[in-house]
Structure 1
Amino acid sequence: MAASANRSYGAHRHSSTDFHSRNIAIAVAMALPGDTVLYLLLPMHHAVFGATLAQAGLLLAANRLIRLLGYGWIAKLYMRKGSRLTCGLAVTAASLCTLGYATLAGFWGLLMARLLWGVSFAALNISRQALITAEPAGASRRSGRSQSIVAVGPLLGLLGGAFLSQWLGPRAVFFLLTAVALLGLLFALQLPAGAVGPYPKSPKKFRWPKPLHLWSFVQGLALDGFFTTSLSVLSAQALPENAALAAGAVMALRYLADIVLSPLGGYMAGRWGAENQLLGLSFAAAIAMLGIGLEWLWISAVAVVILRSLVIPMVSPIVAMQNPGPARVEALAACTVWRDLGAGIGPMLAGALLPIGSNLILYTGAAAMIAVSVIACYFELKK
């Protein structure tokens, strides 16, 4: 009798965790397209937005850089106030940011919108990862499914944004994306309310980054930042007459790969071990980045987005397994901070170096950094 009651409670908790992780994923999917489409259109049409190419790189990086300062107090807010309030505020702010991309002109106005978006996404990201790992059983599966759901929003945004920008111009598209972001409130308000628990106190001293932090930093710099930004510029050079459609198609493939392959990545992590899959797939991504430098642009770009989609769901379960219980929130935030640091630097490097540097040298350097981070993780995870 007691065993039956325990099984019933476990099944209910498992179902509740699945329900909440799905709702937060849908809310994030609706809030993201404004940011994603900006990555596509701003580097190509920076003059229309009142910015130089170098300023465009800074604007694309600014949202990540502000998160470096904000993740600590956002994690505390999440622990004290819960998912519903945190995500409701974040979705509302994300809608205002997207509206700003349509209406604000010049570097400083857009910078304010990017900074607000950075804080908003930090809240959504912490909530999503915490809800995914709230129950250890099935965390890898939920991580893959959540990433798949999240990718639907940017995918549809890129395809629609690339097409509509040809007809309406690069700024009018963001009015439509503002309405989409507001719909995310319907799902954010279904998340659990109330405090999650006390935020663990950490010693106030400098701590050297762990190998997984180094890996997160390099993934952010090379794949999330430099690759995403440079792809838009390289597409414009390769196909000048259809640059927006070409870059939009390849960037949309990244999210299509997330939809199709992230659940597979979560399954692989649960069946064969997240650590082994993370190491092998990351090293393959380094080879694909080298291929771009060797002028195998399209096939290598496709390989990068596929490998990235497979490896993404493996990080959160590894971190949660190493830091069980409420401590996982702080650990997940730390990994995200390092990834955002790299992803914030990446667009600035792309904006500064692409006009003057050789693609071979730049992409070989990115590939070498990925390979070094994989080797460091190997020795740490195999201890």
Structure 2
Amino acid sequence: MLLTKSPPIRKEQSSSFRGALRASGVMAFAGLGDAVLYPVLPIYGKELGFSVFFIGVLLSVNRFVRIIANTSIANWVHQIGIRKMLIITATLATLTTFLYGLKLGLISFLLARIFWGLSYSGLKTSTLCYASQAKEKSGLVFGLSQSIKSLGALFVLWFGPIVIGEFGIQNGLFSIASISLLGILLAYSLPKIEPKAKDEVVKTSLTFYPNTINLLVFIVSVSIDGILVVSLSYLLSGNMVNSNELLGYVAFYLLLKRLFTLLFSIIGGVLSIRFRPLFLFSISISICLLAMALIAFDITILGIILAFLFNTIVVTFSPLIAIKNSQNKDNSLQAISSVSTWWDIGAAVGAFIGIYAIEFIGIQNLYLSLCITGTILFINFSIKNAKSSRSTI
């Protein structure tokens, strides 16, 4: 059945609910420094002494760090607790933003980006772990959590360029880092809820195991968070008359992507009160695949909008689906680490191969291939999930 009846949140669940939302607020504050670099570093990078090549390295190295670090970070959360991990990583994230503004050179900036990658891994794992503790209305909790996390990026994409343009990149980054300090204070207010699987550890072999949910998440991440993001200029260039107009449109669609995260994560969470998260997840995957087909057949604008919109639902519910499909449902850290790692791998691979793939096989063939591959993996996921559901009846 698609409809579910969900009881109201009991008093004993309220601590988990509050913890999940506050933890998302911590991540929103901690991520201000990273979010502002993407529009700012390509413009001010030369002022800081970085070449175009190293600007690309600095913007991407944190994602590769996360791929390597997710399993170890999850085990650290298991050892020291969720709240302590959020306090540590929020503090480290704030320090990295201060380091960005110190103009200490490439090596120092690179180290700051590596430490930010570690911080992000801890922040994301801990935030999802808080959300997983809320057993009632879990879809709503994951939706609200995802939406709150996006608020920081939306704020700094508006505020950051203004303050940096007015006071310079150094003072601007110091101001943004000062705001991030609020995340540390918020982390201290978190309830002390710890992972329940005290006797379980997160295993690297399981994190990188290509099960059905991991492969499905991987292809969606490759397609939308990787290839689609880096190929927007190619897809939109046919309708533009000059580079300034093209830049404006690309920026608009990237901002639209973040707005979708803010709005539709909440909508998806509310819908999950009435519909099962797996149903919403499956519908969203189907529409993402349809979006790839639309782009392949040159229905570009509609394809981009549908991909960004429904990818929001996929991102929101994929950790919850991974936990519920895990063989060991008591060890949510393993499922969170695994699905997060495969999403990071997909986004990194997609961003890396996107432009080369377009040059090699063309945009239409590329997106058609993504649609076909994703459809096969989605059918495989659905079959395996149906078998698993029947075996538990």
TM-score (norm 2): 0.82
Aligned to 2:23: 24
The residue type equivalent to 1:269 in the other structure is S
Matches of 1:180 and 1:150 in 2, distance apart? 15
Aligned to 1:348: 352
Equivalent positions of 1:194-343 (< 5 A) are: 196-197=195-196, 198-201=198-201, 208-231=209-232, 238=240, 240-241=243-244, 245-292=248-295, 296-323=299-326, 326-343=330-347
Aligned to 2:147: 148
The residue type equivalent to 2:96 in the other structure is C
Shift of the alpha carbon at 1:87? 0.7
Matches of 2:246 and 2:104 in 1, distance apart? 23
Shift of the alpha carbon at 1:191? 1.6
| Cα pair distance change 1:236/1:155, threshold 3 Å | farther
Q: What percent of counterpart residues are identical?
A: 22
Matches of 1:86 and 1:142 in 2, distance apart? 20
| Cα pair distance change 1:178/1:227, threshold 3 Å | farther
| Cα pair distance change 1:205/1:24, threshold 3 Å | closer
Aligned to 1:119: 118
| Cα pair distance change 1:269/1:351, threshold 3 Å | same
Alignment size in residue pairs: 376
| Cα pair distance change 1:216/1:193, threshold 3 Å | same
Matches of 1:160 and 1:179 in 2, distance apart? 13
Which structure 1 segments of 5+ residues have no match?
Answer: 1-6
Give 3-state SS (helix, strand or coil) of 2:274's partner: helix
Aligned to 1:90: 89
Q: Quick check: 1:60–1:347 contact (8 Å CA) kept in 2?
A: no
Aligned to 1:3: none
Q: Quick check: 1:82–1:192 contact (8 Å CA) kept in 2?
A: no
Q: Quick check: 2:291–2:303 contact (8 Å CA) kept in 1?
A: yes
Shift of the alpha carbon at 1:24? 0.4
The residue type equivalent to 1:85 in the other structure is K
Q: Quick check: 1:285–1:304 contact (8 Å CA) kept in 2?
A: yes
Q: Quick check: 1:33–1:154 contact (8 Å CA) kept in 2?
A: yes
Provide Cα deviations, 1:38-79, integer angstroms capped at 9, x if missing partner.
334445666556555554444333212212222222112212
Shift of the alpha carbon at 1:115? 1.4
Q: Quick check: 2:226–2:347 contact (8 Å CA) kept in 1?
A: yes
Matches of 2:293 and 2:171 in 1, distance apart? 37
Give 3-state SS (helix, strand or coil) of 1:133's partner: helix
Matches of 2:100 and 2:372 in 1, distance apart? 35
Give 3-state SS (helix, strand or coil) of 2:10's partner: helix
| Cα pair distance change 1:322/1:366, threshold 3 Å | closer
| Cα pair distance change 1:267/1:327, threshold 3 Å | same
Q: Quick check: 1:43–1:56 contact (8 Å CA) kept in 2?
A: yes
Q: Quick check: 2:202–2:334 contact (8 Å CA) kept in 1?
A: no
Equivalent positions of 1:37-116 (< 5 A) are: 37-42=36-41, 47=46, 50-51=49-50, 55-104=54-103, 108-116=107-115
Matches of 2:166 and 2:290 in 1, distance apart? 38
Shift of the alpha carbon at 1:307? 1.0
Per mean C-alpha deviation after superposition, the further-off stretch among 66-75 and 13-22 is 66-75
| Cα pair distance change 1:191/1:244, threshold 3 Å | farther
The residue type equivalent to 1:359 in the other structure is I
Shift of the alpha carbon at 1:92? 1.4
Provide Cα deviations, 1:281-334, integer angstroms capped at 9, x if missing partner.
112112323444555544432222211122222222222323466411111111
Q: Quick check: 1:162–1:245 contact (8 Å CA) kept in 2?
A: no
Per mean C-alpha deviation after superposition, the further-off stretch among 334-343 and 67-76 is 67-76
Q: Quick check: 1:84–1:192 contact (8 Å CA) kept in 2?
A: yes
Shift of the alpha carbon at 1:371? 2.8
Q: Quick check: 1:158–1:248 contact (8 Å CA) kept in 2?
A: no
Shift of the alpha carbon at 1:132? 0.6
| Cα pair distance change 1:358/1:55, threshold 3 Å | farther
Equivalent positions of 1:149-164 (< 5 A) are: 149-161=148-160
Provide Cα deviations, 1:331-365, integer angstroms capped at 9, x if missing partner.
11111111111122222224655677743344344
Matches of 2:209 and 2:131 in 1, distance apart? 27
Matches of 2:105 and 2:294 in 1, distance apart? 36
Matches of 1:48 and 1:352 in 2, distance apart? 29
Per mean C-alpha deviation after superposition, the further-off stretch among 237-246 and 11-20 is 237-246
The residue type equivalent to 2:377 in the other structure is S
Q: Quick check: 1:93–1:117 contact (8 Å CA) kept in 2?
A: yes
Aligned to 1:191: 190
Q: Quick check: 1:149–1:259 contact (8 Å CA) kept in 2?
A: yes
| Cα pair distance change 1:99/1:14, threshold 3 Å | same
Q: Quick check: 2:222–2:347 contact (8 Å CA) kept in 1?
A: yes
* Cα-Cα RMSD: 3.4
The residue type equivalent to 2:226 in the other structure is G
Q: Quick check: 2:216–2:374 contact (8 Å CA) kept in 1?
A: yes
The residue type equivalent to 2:130 in the other structure is L
| Cα pair distance change 1:205/1:122, threshold 3 Å | closer
TM-score (norm 1): 0.84
Q: Quick check: 1:216–1:338 contact (8 Å CA) kept in 2?
A: yes
Give 3-state SS (helix, strand or coil) of 2:272's partner: helix
